[in-house]
Structure 1
């Protein structure tokens, strides 16, 4: 069994392997900076500077939304491979009075986009200017801030301005992303300007500055989203994109709309689970799986190798169904959504799950091929009033389209790659999903799964994950670890995870040593038990990155008055992030 790297608590890593998936493993060993307990407010992000920026906002009397704006914009600067103002996001907001909203700031297809736009060269869908969809993050953040923010907009944007202007140190995780995208960075003038010196990538700890992006953010800080969506920055951005072969226009930016929706709501063990509606498949997906697993008995029925088998089988059912979803403004998803939220439907699916075996993809009834969405960054925030935000932000693949606008400093998304496209279908691969075909102004299907948990009218926790198509599984497993298996918050996030996406018919299990030195690996006895049931296993040197903030109010049945228990926040050490609170 591989051990942790030197000086990173090998005993703790071994302990994790022993306790994985065991009921009641709520103890942790040693003190970890990735978990904090606070009285008033807490912020958990992928990066310690962004968590601290969010904490400062809360300490000054800011709303959870204020902290989300500041933290998200910070992440776009210091984690530019995962998120930024050139992308989009889903935010789930629950106010202290119980009112809840799902804010859809997902990217949209340009007006000039079409179903067959990649027929001559499918590679253009994955990277480059033609893969860019209309970004929505700045518009979405500003809209929700206008309604709920307490601090000045400029105050929230300026920390990101200063980081871009004065520089930040390249983290080990960002450097890993840079190395994996090295050829693309070197080939793009905009990216190479800030991530290389004399043709060589910056190293871990080197200072990265982007004065052009700082100027863009400064303009947004002073004037709001106007310069980007209806002003000089937008004009320059469009000019750069079109010069490189893209089809995005100023009209696309001017027409972008943030959509505020009602969250998905499901029940599990007496808790209300709030999630994101379509075009996210996350909220309905998590609810469907929980409805299946609830029938097995909690926690015994979801523990050990058998419990993991049941989770995997439930995931396979989800992935068979989710490709029937799409942007509800373009596709009628009411029937499939109703099924995914139905306890009766989950009971029918449970009848097809056998504890002693698994099946080929055909058994689960999937008609369509999967899309492989990527990347992302997730943050969780609870403020002193117990307003809560769960937000997942993305530019899709590492460095999005691998295209940075030289005039604006904005790293653009490649969200068009999250659409399905017509194509030649082989005998062994299902056809692409028509519900997710490209249409002008349509939003592509997503796996992002921001989640908020409520019990007896009281906020219990905020959770979510980044990691593309694995997000639903990652969010689900952390949720089950804490709320069902009663692990402590740190152990719930630290426990090694497994994933399945139906096609290919393979269980991917964590087996890697992270950039910060922790080793994560599903134990050999668990793997052997899965293989005996017919699962094909494949080690995965990566996975999801999860954030979790829990509100320690117990199982009180008090209604009306907002209880103020302590907050425990965890940032996933897999990416090196740290939480902050006060």
Structure 2
């Protein structure tokens, strides 16, 4: 199995500050290079045939979903202040509404060129030149040479044993997989018979806090030696030692869990899981980072550009210094929370999972796996039920309470009261993560059957062909 590190996560020049948006927040996009590399290694269909549907969708347009309209509404001031964004989302000076059609015609032309020329035009040709010129005009410093220097890195995935399966997940600079494995190993040391749900949740939160504290010791392995930290995080004996430190009757302040460094609050992302009829699988997370990325769309190409520079450790927060493992360096990839994951038994795929939601990705992935494999929920219920989140700083448990067309998401008061008794500070949140989950039945009359769930929080639905 192969993990390709090329998902909008490249660094081009040493910077001493972080910009949340604008041209200086942009890192050289890596998604296209990663997709093209995967196609060259494993693809059977012509590249142009793969890109053409995206071009058609951009040119013909698509209807605004409930979730997209909510994001547009939150970003209304940004959209109306930017000519390019306004031309897409508010072409007559007023935001389009849910159900109306968005067209991305400039992007369609760019995709047509990519379909024809592969990644060459994007990194070495006219698209690279246009992107660099647009970024420079907006005050950025990325050059065409930076695009030309971009290289895909192929790394060996993390492998560990948990829940009775072999788990394969993304290695650093993605931190989500190691966090997930540590939490699962801690919780696997407990029995589940007769354990009330609120106690399961308390133990989960405690395990998550330990994982978050360790997360900031990880970074790009091409620049930082993360071997010892990574081996510790996936160690069964280390997980057992942490389990023994968890108190079922109380929680502690964030410093108790060994946190040395301030957190990086990476954001955004989207995720897809695919399984074919030969049981080849893809679990892929991509990201612009924040909503609308850098808030900058290239006028000449129609490409929305990321603000991944913010994922480096630059500023301090909560009286803790930034993590040296994630300092900015040329050509370094910043830390992320991505956790694309595959579960295998023998040589058969059991599950494929991943999530969107920035720093909260491990929360979503781990909770769905716990729900299905430990608490024995069916796949849809495992994804559908409410989730809770913790970021270590602030020392707050966020719990979902909101309503969509798919239904209501809310915890019972008894569960919340029991968490309060143990010292957890609770706050309500909306839908912060979206999880995709595919299960293959490995025994019984339905052996080989796939069950796929696309998170209904954003109106998702699985598709089969």
Q: 2:421 aligns to what?
A: 532
Displacement of 1:517: 4.5
Query: Taking structure 1 as reference, are residues 299 and 323 closer, same or farther at Cα in structure 2, changes over 3 Å only?
Result: farther
SS of structure 2 residue aligned to 1:154: helix
- Kept after mapping to 2: 8 A contact 1:189/1:406: no
In the alignment, the residues of structure 2 paired with residue 509 and residue 404 of structure 1 have an alpha-carbon distance, to the nearest angstrom, of 34
Q: 1:484 aligns to what?
A: 374
- Kept after mapping to 2: 8 A contact 1:461/1:549: yes
In the alignment, the residues of structure 2 paired with residue 462 and residue 363 of structure 1 have an alpha-carbon distance, to the nearest angstrom, of 34
SS of structure 2 residue aligned to 1:197: coil
1:460-487 alpha-carbon deviations (Å, 9 max, x no partner): 0101110111100100011111122221
- Kept after mapping to 2: 8 A contact 1:448/1:472: yes
Q: 2:397 aligns to what?
A: 507
- Kept after mapping to 1: 8 A contact 2:401/2:429: yes
Query: Taking structure 1 as reference, are residues 327 and 110 closer, same or farther at Cα in structure 2, changes over 3 Å only?
Result: closer
In the alignment, the residues of structure 1 paired with residue 398 and residue 76 of structure 2 have an alpha-carbon distance, to the nearest angstrom, of 26
- Kept after mapping to 1: 8 A contact 2:54/2:111: yes
1:421-446 alpha-carbon deviations (Å, 9 max, x no partner): 145x6xx5211111111111111100
- Kept after mapping to 2: 8 A contact 1:109/1:438: no
SS of structure 2 residue aligned to 1:574: helix
Displacement of 1:108: 4.1
Give runs of ≥4 in structure 1 deviating > 6 Å: none
Matches within 5 A, 1:18-29: none
SS of structure 1 residue aligned to 2:132: helix
Structure 1 residues not aligned, in runs of 5+: 1-99, 557-562
In the alignment, the residues of structure 2 paired with residue 112 and residue 565 of structure 1 have an alpha-carbon distance, to the nearest angstrom, of 49
Under a length normalisation based on structure 1, what TM-score does the superposition of the two structures give? Answer: 0.78
Matches within 5 A, 1:165-244: 165-244=59-138
- Matching residue within 111, 114, 137 for 2:12: 111
Displacement of 1:455: 1.3
- Kept after mapping to 2: 8 A contact 1:108/1:133: yes
- Matching residue within 165, 183, 196 for 1:271: 165
- Kept after mapping to 2: 8 A contact 1:229/1:254: yes
SS of structure 2 residue aligned to 1:581: coil
SS of structure 2 residue aligned to 1:580: coil
- Matching residue within 335, 348, 358 for 1:445: 335
Matches within 5 A, 1:177-576: 177-298=71-192, 304-422=197-315, 428-514=318-404, 516-554=405-443, 565-576=448-459
In the alignment, the residues of structure 2 paired with residue 569 and residue 403 of structure 1 have an alpha-carbon distance, to the nearest angstrom, of 35
SS of structure 2 residue aligned to 1:315: helix
1:134 aligns with 2:24: no
Displacement of 1:299: 6.2
- Kept after mapping to 1: 8 A contact 2:12/2:142: yes
SS of structure 2 residue aligned to 1:200: coil
In the alignment, the residues of structure 2 paired with residue 208 and residue 151 of structure 1 have an alpha-carbon distance, to the nearest angstrom, of 29
- Kept after mapping to 2: 8 A contact 1:127/1:402: yes
Displacement of 1:524: 1.0
Structure 2 residues not aligned, in runs of 5+: none
SS of structure 1 residue aligned to 2:456: coil
Matches within 5 A, 1:53-202: 100-114=1-15, 116=16, 118=17, 122=18, 125-202=19-96
1:389-421 alpha-carbon deviations (Å, 9 max, x no partner): 111111001110011001000000001111111
- Indicate the larger mover: 312-321 or 189-198: 189-198
Query: Taking structure 1 as reference, are residues 365 and 110 closer, same or farther at Cα in structure 2, changes over 3 Å only?
Result: closer
1:46-95 alpha-carbon deviations (Å, 9 max, x no partner): xxxxxxxxxxxxxxxxxxxxxxxxxxxxxxxxxxxxxxxxxxxxxxxxxx
Q: 2:462 aligns to what?
A: 579
- Kept after mapping to 2: 8 A contact 1:455/1:555: no
In the alignment, the residues of structure 1 paired with residue 12 and residue 348 of structure 2 have an alpha-carbon distance, to the nearest angstrom, of 43
In the alignment, the residues of structure 2 paired with residue 312 and residue 300 of structure 1 have an alpha-carbon distance, to the nearest angstrom, of 19
In the alignment, the residues of structure 1 paired with residue 61 and residue 13 of structure 2 have an alpha-carbon distance, to the nearest angstrom, of 37
- Kept after mapping to 1: 8 A contact 2:372/2:382: yes
Q: 1:49 aligns to what?
A: none
- Kept after mapping to 1: 8 A contact 2:10/2:150: no
- Kept after mapping to 1: 8 A contact 2:12/2:28: no
Under a length normalisation based on structure 2, what TM-score does the superposition of the two structures give? Answer: 0.97
SS of structure 2 residue aligned to 1:407: coil
RCO higher in 1 or 2 (8 Å CA, sep ≥ 6)? 1
Displacement of 1:535: 0.4
Query: Taking structure 1 as reference, are residues 350 and 167 closer, same or farther at Cα in structure 2, changes over 3 Å only?
Result: same
Displacement of 1:110: 4.0
- Kept after mapping to 2: 8 A contact 1:110/1:247: no
